[in-house]
Structure 1
Amino acid sequence: MSKVFVIDQQKQPLDPVHPGRARKLLSEGKAAVYRRFPFTIILKAEITKPVVQPLRIKLDPGSRTTGIAIVNDASGEVVFAAELSHRGQAIKASLDDRRAVRRSRRQRKTRYRKARWHNRRRKNGWLPPSLLSRIANVLTWVKRLSRLCAITAISMEFVRFDMQLMENPEITGIEYQQGTLMGFEVREYLLEKWGRKCAYCGVSDHPLQVEHIHPRANGGTNRISNLTLACERCNQAKGTQDIKVFLKKKPSVLDRVLAQACQPLKDAAAVNATRWALFERLKGTGLPIECGSGGLTKFNRTTRNLPKTHWSDAVCVGKSTPEVVKTNQIQPLLMRATGHGRRQMCVTDAYGFPKQHKDRRGTYLGYRTGDIVKAITPKGTFQGRIAIRSRPSFRLGKVDIHPKYMRRLHRIDGYAYHYERNA
């Protein structure tokens, strides 16, 4: 299971300890809880000349979810694992709603005005807010975890699919391209592109084979746009037939395959658009950075018999992956970016008309909306996130509780947390 982070009296990171050891330190009064998520304790007694082992943080950036793992390179032990869910889609939806409301309001309330966006220029390297939020989320957690444990290096999956290597075999040598790793690069890309299903019959959870849409026997190439995935039965049935002949009785399937063959991956495009920006931000931490590709990650994961999850992908990023990886029934911390609230003072309905005005007060009696608290009341014990009011009666779930019964467990920090237990 995940270890517990430990810091000393000066808030300097020490070696993470087993949860049993942390419970003993807490019960004996030698430590106190510093953070709930990720769980961290702070020692009450000073330690002279502590020996701290260096750790490596490994990142598997994704469009929707990023895998995070902290690994001890010397022992191969996974100290901490997490999966960070981004809110890029929610940001885009909010911007679309705001744009629609403003456009409709201008059309109703104001005279005609000429377009003004021709005199606006975007800076070099500009990224939309939905992509910037992904970079900010990853950078936030790299900095947070660096304050809780002795991280000395970073491994990052730089490209999901090494398209340049697949298109030009001479970039790093023919041996690399024609070896085992080449197959992993191509198959991983095709699995993502075709949804891990047979392109012809749609069967899933079956062994899939790489299939040439335009057969090589008829002049087809090995380019990625000419490759798809098919089950053994469909692959043998198609043989060297032209795809239009093979799917003559299935025109809808034919149209879908031909359209999807040239369709780019939206999520992969989002990751590729942010990779350089994230790389430059991580360089600002001053830690050495190792980069790897998605094909290498899958190769490492397969050879080490690890399950297909975001955090296990992070463990296998880069060439520094230990030969023997010790997961020890790790319990990944599932983190979801929720933001820090809205600055919108007037809530509008679907038509842009005001329906509710927000109070400017952000805190009350030291509490903020979203704080995780524990309340012991005469009616029972409750725990969860609170919603504050401008009077001493806060909402906790479906009950109203006076602040005098509450004790804060975790301050709101823009993320929601829960643990996933292995079966």
Structure 2
Amino acid sequence: MAVLVLDKRKRPLMPCSEKRARLLLESGRARVHRMVPFTIRLVDRLQAESVLQPLRLKLHPGSKTTGMALVREKETVDATTGEILRTFTVLMLLELKHRGHAIRDALTQRRAFRRRRRGNLRYRPARFDNRTKPEGWLAPSLQHRVDTMLAWVNRLMRLAPVTALSQELVRFDTQALQNPEIAGSEYQQGTLAGYEVREYLLEKWGRECAYCGAKNTPLEIDHIHPRSKGGSNRVSNLTIACRDCNQAKGNMPLEQFLAKAPERVRKILAQAKAPLKDAAAVNSTRWALFQRLKATGLDVEVASGGRTKWNRHQMSIPKAHCLDAACVGCVDAIQNWQQPVLGIKATGRGSYQRTRLTKHGFPRGYLTRSKSVFGFQTGDLVKAIVTTGKKTGTYLGRVAIRASGSFNLQTGNGLVQGIHHRFCALIQRADGYGYLWTKIALDRGDAGLGQATPAALSLPGMNAGVSRAN
């Protein structure tokens, strides 16, 4: 994984390799600027004295996890065809986990508490009728996703000379879905023929056979009302089925094929007419993010999810959020994608609420007035070297403080309780995120590729740094 580099005035330079960063630190030409993501600052060079190459930050937004990839872009001309080929070298892979569900649950709980206090204790007139929502308003759980993604875009722009952005704007090309008149061998012809339709149907039907419920098996597109009997090619008449069911059904009507399962017939017909779940919320989030990205002043490239999947299959790259980000847009080749992934989990910066409540919303206990204990705050990244006791060893993770001085440490291998503060050394102050280094699993089939292994990787530099829309 590349190491981010700043000049002596904290302006971004081209990232370097871990070996070169280690040599710069040992020779005294650089200092550790930030531990996560690992960044060094040169003490003898300015940005004007360096040669910068075009870097592109790619985003693959998701409802729970957003993949990000920082890549170096290079364009070459094919000698035979004269076409411009775009090759990307991956410098850094990141996966950002959102906390929208936690925000939603907290607001739901607060609303219930207020309703009970208003209705059971004393009457207070409701104030929500006096409040108006501004244009472009998003629910707090959705606005959090936009703000968090933009915060990391701005952070990486400060740490690396990013010159362009790429975003998967929509999951499906709705224009291609309006009239997908594709049949027979045409499903395998053309550059993106059928990919938008296939990906849409896979998401809509839960990636399982609509007739028998089979999973983890090759699925084929089938017409609910057979074409030979007047059925259309629109997505409302398409479903996915395993090969056995598809051949057994043939040109039989759905009611005849599933005569012994009328409940499944009703479910299939209802699901065929229903739109994709949460599509409106996801699309509104992505459009809001697109507008915010355009405001950065950089060139913003947008693409659909169908093209992302096609790029990934063409280059035989496993499924993962961060690798989907690397495949966004026009891509001809991707290099150096087999590297560790920096997992980022949005944890928040705590709460102003210093009172613990019962399930009915009444006080049951109070937290300490000070959020700092023995120089540590909850969320700080610390390294604990325990020399005595049952927990002897070295631990690295996010700390949760107690007034007694006995802390809990959330490490990559799990929670470690009862670490005394005198064994802890501060690595990086809390910034509202938890970090974990993982690897992408490469030993599974397409259905399971991209699963991150739970083992955490060592922090680079730990030993050296502890004491196109304009």
In the superposition, the TM-score normalised over structure 1's length comes to 0.91
Q: How far apart, in 2, do the equivalents of 1:73 and 1:217 lie? A: 49
Aligned to 2:117: 105
For the structure 1 residues 44 and 115, does the alpha-carbon distance in structure 2 shift closer, same or farther, using more than 3 Å as the test? closer
- Say if 2:95 and 2:321, in contact at 8 Å, map to a contact too: yes
The separation in 1 between residues aligned to 2:143 and 2:285, in whole angstroms, is 8
- Determine the structure 2 residue equivalent to 1:348: 357
Q: Match of 1:342, as an amino acid?
A: S
What is the CA–CA distance in structure 1 between the aligned matches of 2:343 and 2:68, rounded to whole Å? 10
Equivalent-residue separation in structure 2 for 1:258 and 1:218 (angstroms): 17
Matches within 5 A, 1:44-123: 44-47=43-46, 49-74=49-74, 75-111=87-123, 115-123=126-134
Structure 1 Cα separation of the partners of residues 119 and 319 of structure 2: 51
- Within 5 Å, which residues of 2 pair with 1:9-408? 9-47=8-46, 49-74=49-74, 75-111=87-123, 115-168=126-179, 179-319=190-330, 321=331, 323-379=332-388, 380=392, 381-390=394-403, 394-396=407-409, 397-403=416-422, 405-408=423-426
Contact 2:176–2:196 (Cα < 8 Å) also in 1: no
Partner letter of residue 402 of structure 1?
Answer: H
1:239-296 Cα offsets, whole Å, 9 max, x none, are 1122122112113322322222223333433220112211111112111111111111
Contact 2:379 / 2:434 at 8 angstroms: preserved in 1?
no
Question: What residue identity is the alignment partner of 2:420?
Answer: I
Structure 2 spans left out of the alignment, 5+ residues: 75-86, 410-415, 442-470
1: distance between equivalents of 2:319 and 2:396? 33
Contact 1:158 1:275 in 2 (8 A): yes
**Contact preservation (8 Å) 1:160, 1:268:** no
* CA offset digits 1:347-394 (Å, max 9, x no partner): 212222221222332234543111011234542444332233456654
Q: Between 377-386 and 239-248, report the one with greater CA deviation.
A: 377-386
**Residues 394, 377 of structure 1: alpha-carbon distance in 2 compared, 3 angstrom cutoff:** same
1:160 is displaced (CA, Å) by: 0.6
The answer (yes or no) to whether the contact 1:63–1:267 under 8 Å persists in 2 is no
1:240–1:114 Cα change, 3 Å:
farther
**What secondary structure, in the 3-state scheme, does the structure 2 residue paired with 1:77 have?**
strand
How far does the alpha carbon of each residue in 1:384-408 deviate from its partner, in whole angstroms, 9 at most, with x for none?
A: 32233456654543224235x4321
Does the CA contact (< 8 Å) of 1:182 and 1:295 recur in 2? no
Cα displacement string for residues 305-355 of structure 1 (whole angstroms, at most 9, x for unaligned residues): 211111111111112x2x221025221111111111122232212222221
- Calculate the aligned-residue CA RMSD, in Å: 2.4
Q: Is the 8 A contact 1:88 1:134 kept in 2?
A: yes
Provide the secondary structure at the position in 2 that maps to 1:361: coil
> For residues 384 and 101 of structure 1, do their structure 2 counterparts lie closer, same or farther at Cα, with a shift above 3 Å needed?
same
- Counterpart CA distance in 2 for 1:115 and 1:17 is 58
Output the CA distance in 1 between the equivalents of 2:344 and 2:67: 10
The answer to whether the 8 Å contact 1:166/1:182 transfers is no
Say whether the 8 Å CA contact 1:339–1:414 is kept in structure 2. Answer: yes
Give the distance between the partners of 1:284 and 1:343, measured in 2 at CA.
Answer: 32
**CA offset digits 1:92-131 (Å, max 9, x no partner):** 11111111121122221013x5554334321111110010
Residue 233 of structure 1 and its aligned partner are, at CA, apart by 0.7
Task: Give the whole-Å Cα distance in 2 for the aligned partners of 1:334 and 1:328.
Answer: 15
**C-alpha spacing 1:247/1:143, structure 2 compared with 1 (3 Å):** same
Decide which moves more: 250-259 or 210-219.
Answer: 250-259
In structure 1, C-alpha distance between the alignment counterparts of 2:192 and 2:203, rounded to whole Å: 17
Number of residues of Structure 1 aligned to a counterpart in Structure 2: 414
> For residues 279 and 22 of structure 2, what CA distance do their matches in structure 1 show?
43
Identity of aligned residues (%): 51
Query: Whole-Å Cα distance in 2 between the matches of residues 115 and 150 of structure 1?
Result: 50
C-alpha contact (below 8 Å) 1:63/1:268 kept by paired residues = no
Paired amino acid for 2:358 = D
* SS of equivalent to 1:217: helix
Report deviation, 1:413. Answer: 1.1
Determine the C-alpha separation between the residues in 2 that align with 1:239 and 1:167. Answer: 25
Change (3 A) 1:118 1:218: farther
**Structure-1 separation of matches of 2:53 and 2:129:** 55
Give, in whole Å, the separation in 1 of the partners of 2:215 and 2:224: 19
SS at match of 1:90: helix
Tell me how far 1:31 sits from its aligned partner. 2.2
Could you tell me how far apart the structure 1 residues matched to 2:151 and 2:387 are? Answer: 40
Aligned partner of 2:464 in structure 1 is none
More strand by share: 2
- CA displacement at 1:79 relative to structure 2: 0.8
CA distance in structure 2 between the partners assigned to 1:119 and 1:99 by the alignment: 17
